[in-house]
Amino acid sequence: MNLIVKNKMIKYYCLLWVLGASIIFSEAAESGSSILLSPKTKAEQRADLVVRLPGQPKISFKHYAGYVTVDESHGKSLFYWFFEADKKPQNKPLLLWLNGGPGCSSIGYGEAEELGPFSPQKGSKPKLKLNRYSWNRAANLLFLESPVGVGFSYTNTSSDISELGDTIVAKDTYNFLVNWFKRFPQFKSHDFFLSGESYAGHYVPQLAKAILEGNKIASKEDHIQLKGLMIGNALLDDDTDQRGMVEYAWNHAIISDHVYNDVKNNCDFSNKNMTSTCNKALTQYFNEYRLIDIYNLYAPICVDNQTNSQNRNTQPPIIHGISPRLFSNFEGWLKRPAAGYDPCTSDYTETYMNIPAVQAALHANITKLPYPWTHCNNNITSWSDSPSSILPTLRKLIDEGLRIWIYSGDVDGRIPVTSTRYTLKKLGLKTIQGWKAWYASSQVGGWTIKYKGLTFVTIRGAGHQVPTSMPREAWQLVKHFLAGKNLPDAPPL
């Protein structure tokens, strides 16, 4: 073989190697990184890739769904739905969203009715509407149905459902993250943030604590790049949450002076023991919220489709053992939220998620669960541990230097802005930047105050589910939180 031919062959094989390598690297790059994925990992990601959902509009991003095992001995698997950022996912952080309950689906509420890309629509055929204010415009977005028994998540050990509590939920969710990152290693180097609402005031700080503790003993491969957390209308402290609810209801003319004084004089919110006089007073208090949506005082309630709404899990059984200790004894506390401008949206979501073709496209319900998908699991009736206050955990997270934002929709009666202000006052943090308005376009979006180690933000006109009622303001909020930037304190010129 002459030298010229030999050199041409060398160049040819080099070119083939470069082309092959570029294909492998480009597959990973499209999903957020230039790292080399193993054949096993690529196969797992392809298996979870959602090719097309019934009624799905045209999109520019990839999304994945499936199961991650968190406890092999018990047969525990949690269901997730992951959306890459709509543009340049390799440059965007990763955000996990958790809804509370406890026992409610982050996919049913968070993805479908709040901040995810897709929202099911009313109609005889499956149809999804694209959310122009989806948070995957700012981050790679991960939703998790947790704990087991919620949504499509399941366990092969029936006793697991009766042994749920804050500790086991944090442990299982941490195990999920460790194993999820093994399936999607290209996102391990991304800044990672936690977010959620309501009972996620328990879930998120306790998960953050579990991650920090896990990082101390984990291998380099299992280290999680946790940078911060953001929680909306968060259940944080029994005493202030309950006291603030009653004061908020009185200030907004929901309850009478008589009911307000009865509750104030007969209930000790720092004590978990219920007296008969307190029980009577709180019964009067919750009776008023039978007439309107406690989650958004000024939103309509669903009256168009009473049959479906009554069949849906809007009034589940009382869960014994959860916080807050007094209010959780009343059915009114467990009332499920309506959804924004169309209060029947949750009906559309349940219909859509129970379509066999939808479940097949999402790689969901692979074990053929003996019950339909619902927003919340009515079989969860006991909770083994639920601290009366999460403030000690928050203080530890502040000391760790994490970015922490707490936000509050100011027309929520469930965990109102009054409660959260009382709660944050209990922390005793030094004020760095005083109370002032922030702007969404030319209008005031709410107010904010910056403490040492924590930022508090209100969203004007928003209910319990802030992204549902004020989507543009919510998107602006998360965008600034992820960037670590202050919200604009003046309208644009």
CA separation (Å) from 350 to 1, 121, 224? 70, 11, 34
What six digits make up the tokens of 450? 């910056």
E strands, 92-222, where?
A: 94-98, 118-120, 128-130, 140-145, 192-197
Catalytic entry in 412, 419, 469, 480: 412
E strands, 72-134, where?
A: 76-83, 94-98, 118-120, 128-130
Query: Is 198 an annotated catalytic residue?
Result: yes
Residue with structure tokens 């309107």? Answer: 292
> 486 with 480: CB under 8 angstroms?
yes
Concatenating the DSSP letter of every residue in 309-378 gives HHHSSSSPPP-BTPSSTTGGGSGGGGPPP--TTSTTHHHHHHHHHT-HHHHHHTT--TT--SS---SB-T
Catalytic entry in 202, 363, 375, 464: 464
What six digits make up the tokens of 201? 């005031």
Catalytic entry in 33, 105, 198, 469: 198
CA–CA separation, 420 vs 407, rounded Å?
Answer: 9
> 366 with 67: CB under 8 angstroms?
yes
Q: List, in sequence order, every residue forming a beta bridge with 406; answer none if it has no partner.
A: 231, 456
Query: Is 464 an annotated catalytic residue?
Result: yes
Q: List, in sequence order, every residue forming a beta bridge with 69; answer none if it has no partner.
A: 77
Q: Where in the sequence numbering do the catalytic residues fall? A: 198, 412, 464
